[in-house]
Amino acid sequence: MRIAVLGATGRIGRYTVSTLKRSGHETVPISRSRGVDAYTGAGLDEALAAVDVVVDVCNTRSQDETEIVDFFGTVTGNLLAAEDRVGVGHHALLSIVGIDHDQHVPHYAGKREQERRVMAGPIPWSIVRSTQFHDFAAMVAGWTLHDGTATIAPVLVQPIAQREVGEMLAEVATGAPLGRPIDIAGPETQDLVDMARRTFAARGEQDRLLPTWRGLFDTSMAGEVLLPGAGAWLGSVTFDDWLAAGAR
């Protein structure tokens, strides 16, 4: 199969691409460096010519909700329109477990808009909703770190290895369109505060953690809203495995 990947060099895209190549598929990276701009739509028709499947693992670094929603909505709209024009038969999207609980997180608002467009679009689709990655806790703590102290909410998550996300996304992309979201997750539930503390220790960092619901995440993230639903596909790499491998 000929499979285009938007976000091919990112944290998940590179694993998706390597998995597809090992299975004998041809991959087409979609990026501005190759003359294709998914946000403006420039070059999309040419890049998607003779493509069977589009895999979307793109991301944005913006923290502004309006910008995030605009980015994901515009890129997705442009992709779907181009796919329809050239005859792509399957659109596979990477999303996030639990975002339909309407949490007060700017990035999740953008992913909800992205999912909405895919579900309402003209292309047969699959949505792979993943839980957070193993480095998520330390990354979140790092966003608030100031004078050696970081705030972090006691969120329940079921972290998954990035490699396993890429492998599962490749498997879904090369199958028949599902027409429904599926959840994928790691094998064990973890607490975000404990994850951050253990990651810092594994890295030899001495920063102090302050658990609170008055930081980046409020109580809309409490309970089990970020845990996978029944029947989720579960990976095998544990958080302890990741720590033992260097916590990077």
Query: What CA–CA distance (Å, rounded) separates 173 from 70?
Result: 25
> Which tokens belong to 228?
């996978």
Query: Which amino acid does the sequence have at 48?
Result: L
> Tens digit of pLDDT for each residue in 5-29?
999 999 999 999 999 999 999 999 9
Pairing of strands 125-130, 181-185: parallel
pLDDT digits (tens), the chain, 248 positions: 999 999 999 999 999 999 999 999 999 999 888 889 999 999 999 999 999 999 999 999 999 999 999 999 999 999 999 999 999 999 999 999 999 888 889 999 999 999 999 999 999 999 999 999 999 999 999 999 999 999 999 999 999 999 999 999 999 999 999 999 999 999 999 999 999 999 999 999 989 999 999 988 999 999 999 999 999 999 999 999 999 999 98
- For residue 9, give every residue at least 6 positions away whose Cβ sits within 8 Å of its Cβ, in sequence order, or none: 29, 31
> Which tokens belong to 202?
């594994």
Query: What CA–CA distance (Å, rounded) separates 140 from 232?
Result: 25
Q: Note the pLDDT of residue 102.
A: 82
Sign of CA dihedral 96, 101, 102, 106: negative
For the domain made up of 2-244, the CATH class stated in words is alpha beta
Residue 185: count other Cβ atoms within 10 Å of its Cβ.
Answer: 25
Exposed, middle or buried by CB within 10 Å (0-12, 13-18, 19+), for 33? exposed
> Which tokens belong to 139?
């990354």
- For residue 23, give every residue at least 6 positions away whose Cβ sits within 8 Å of its Cβ, in sequence order, or none: 170, 174
